[in-house]
A and B are shown apart, each in its own frame.
Chain A
Amino acid sequence: MVLFIEIASWLLLVGGAGFCIVGAIGLLRMPDLYSRTHAATITDTLGAGMVLVGLALQAGPNLTALKLLMVLAFLLYTSPVSGHALVKAAYSHGIKAELDVPIDPQQVQIPERPARDAPTDSARGKEGADDVSD
């Protein structure tokens, strides 16, 4: 039984490390912000998750293991939220995704926001102009 736990935790640890590397490579290779966040979230969820579970197994069934699992729960709760906030802010600042097919603006109907957000559109319009100079 102990040997089994030993193997399982080492597998998890190595797997977690592997996913972290995958996430890092993805972060470097992806063309624009949106796809890069995909890669980054892999490191958060799978990479760190597996490492934490592996450590919890190593620590054996005591308080430390519980604390490690609480860290995992906290991580699974906050990283999607921060990812979402980051992408939302990027989108509202008008950062465009790099698509293979060059879309011509007339065709694509950007979903109209309810009237309440009128100022943002004007803001984005202005921001859009800045985009070129950046």
Chain B
Amino acid sequence: MTFPIEAIVFLFLLATALAVTHLRDLFAAAMVFGVFSLLSAGLFTLMDAVDVAFTEAAVGAGISTVLILSTLALTDPREHQQPVRFAPVAVVLLVGAALVYGTLDMPYYGDPTAPIHKHVAPEYIEGAMTDFGIPNIVTNVLASYRGYDTLGETTVVLTATVGVMLLLGGLGGARHRGDAEVVEAAGDEEPTPMDRVQVARVSTTVLAPLIMLFGLYVQFHGDFGPGGGFQAGVIFASALILHGIVFGLSSLKRVVSPRFLEIGLAAGVLIYAGTGVASLFRDGTFLDYAVLDHHSAQHGRHLGILLVEAGVGITVTCAMVLIFFFFAGRRAAKSEEPGDRDRRVA
């Protein structure tokens, strides 16, 4: 029985999860949460889920840690002391016991005769070469067999970004200002120490283009290896966010204005749904790419998957940069109003 490496990774995961729960310094907790996400990405690689690992590392460890940190920059860094409550412990134990009871009739971990490996998965694996000729089966299933799911997923990204723009639009609840003003106000506030740091500037100017190039590589490499629209979008956005952090929001605004990003956000979803509607006009059902090319169904599916992944990439890039704009733009509103201190004591 070879020693399961996952055991070690699980050990670290348990340690980091407990650390996140008990650390009262929220910045440290955010960092440990980033470690947790990275470890889970490692675990997914061990479980042969390379696409999920790539996305979890890029989205889970990358973007959610950046978001949590930028929120902590606007809020209090320390959590209040709090006794252990017993009602939640009871609820958690009950739910945990129910789940463990549920696993008793499950096939063992890695058991090849499990029902899920018998029913639908074999057709996906055979179909990859016959219908598509695309080696990465996950991309086939993601974009065409269950392409409607991924359309829903892209719409989830659109919904979240619209929600963030609505909630963080104006600076401070009372003063209503359009998003242009939000970013304007943030751009010309006191220059953060970062922008006078020559080293960071030079390294960013060298690095950002390489990151963008890698993002494009991931976008088109999605058919042959782990990659695809989501990961590419996040990587591309991280290059822009890096530029925004080092050179300040106003220069990022000159590179990609919020208006342009809003249109890009909508354009991605429209490209995706548009590809589906295009197959409607050629009397295939919605999102059926085979009809897109009269000569060969396989070529049609290639084209469909390419367009769909491009749509996803555009939406995710614009979404991540917009969310960064509104969180970072909020820093201008963070100047501690005098009323804040005493209101907390009330």
Do residues B200 and A81 form an inter-chain contact, with CB atoms below 8 A?
yes
> Of A77, A88, A93, which one neighbours B207 at CB under 8 angstroms?
A77
> Of A77, A88, A89, A119, which one neighbours B190 at CB under 8 angstroms?
A119
**Distance (Å) between the CB of A70 and the closest chain B CB?**
10
Cα separation A88 to B200 with both chains bound (whole Å):
10
Residues 191-239 of B at the A interface (beta carbon under 8 Å): 193-194, 196-197, 199-200, 203, 207
**Distance (Å) between the CB of A106 and the closest chain B CB?**
26
Q: Tell me, yes or no, whether A8 is within 8 Å of chain B by CB.
A: no
Chain B residue at minimum C-beta to C-beta distance from A124: B193
Q: Tell me, yes or no, whether A117 is within 8 Å of chain B by CB.
A: yes
Chain A residue at minimum C-beta to C-beta distance from B199: A84
> Of B190, B199, B207, which one neighbours A85 at CB under 8 angstroms?
B199
> Of B190, B196, B197, B203, which one neighbours A78 at CB under 8 angstroms?
B203
Q: Tell me, yes or no, whether A92 is within 8 Å of chain B by CB.
A: yes
A-B contact count (CB 8 A): 26
Cα separation A27 to B287 with both chains bound (whole Å):
54
Q: Tell me, yes or no, whether A120 is within 8 Å of chain B by CB.
A: yes
Give the interface size bracket for B toward A. under 10
Write out the residue numbers on chain A whose beta carbons fall within 8 Å of the beta carbon of B199.
81, 84-85, 88
Chain A residue at minimum C-beta to C-beta distance from B77: A134
Query: How would you classify the secondary structure of chain B's contact residues: helix, strand, loop or mixed?
Result: helix
Cα separation A93 to B73 with both chains bound (whole Å):
14
**Distance (Å) between the CB of A93 and the closest chain B CB?**
8
**Distance (Å) between the CB of B305 and the closest chain A CB?**
25
Do residues B203 and A88 form an inter-chain contact, with CB atoms below 8 A?
no
Q: A77-B207, A78-B207 are in contact. Are A117 and B196 (CB under 8 A)?
A: yes
**Distance (Å) between the CB of B223 and the closest chain A CB?**
18
**Distance (Å) between the CB of B335 and the closest chain A CB?**
13
Do residues A85 and B196 form an inter-chain contact, with CB atoms below 8 A?
no
Write out the residue numbers on chain A whose beta carbons fall within 8 Å of the beta carbon of B197.
84-85, 88
> Of B194, B203, B207, which one neighbours A89 at CB under 8 angstroms?
B194
Cα separation A117 to B192 with both chains bound (whole Å):
11
Residues 5-59 of A at the B interface (beta carbon under 8 Å): none
**Distance (Å) between the CB of B269 and the closest chain A CB?**
33
Residues 65-119 of A at the B interface (beta carbon under 8 Å): 77-78, 81, 84-85, 88-89, 92-93, 117, 119
Do residues A77 and B203 form an inter-chain contact, with CB atoms below 8 A?
yes
Cα separation A120 to B197 with both chains bound (whole Å):
13
Cα separation A130 to B223 with both chains bound (whole Å):
54
Do residues A92 and B203 form an inter-chain contact, with CB atoms below 8 A?
no
Chain B residue at minimum C-beta to C-beta distance from A88: B197
B residues within 8 Å of A by Cβ?
A: 190, 193-194, 196-197, 199-200, 203, 207
Nearest 9 CB-CB pairings of A with B:
A92-B193, A81-B203, A84-B199, A85-B200, A88-B197, A119-B190, A81-B199, A89-B193, A85-B197
Q: Knowing that A84-B199, A85-B200, A93-B193 are A-B contacts, what are 4 other residue pairs whose CB atoms are under 8 Å apart, sorted by A's residue number? A: A85-B194, A85-B199, A88-B193, A88-B200
Could you jot down 17 A-B contacts, CB within 8 Å? A77-B207, A78-B207, A81-B199, A81-B200, A81-B203, A84-B199, A84-B200, A85-B199, A85-B200, A88-B199, A88-B200, A92-B193, A93-B193, A117-B196, A119-B190, A120-B193, A123-B190
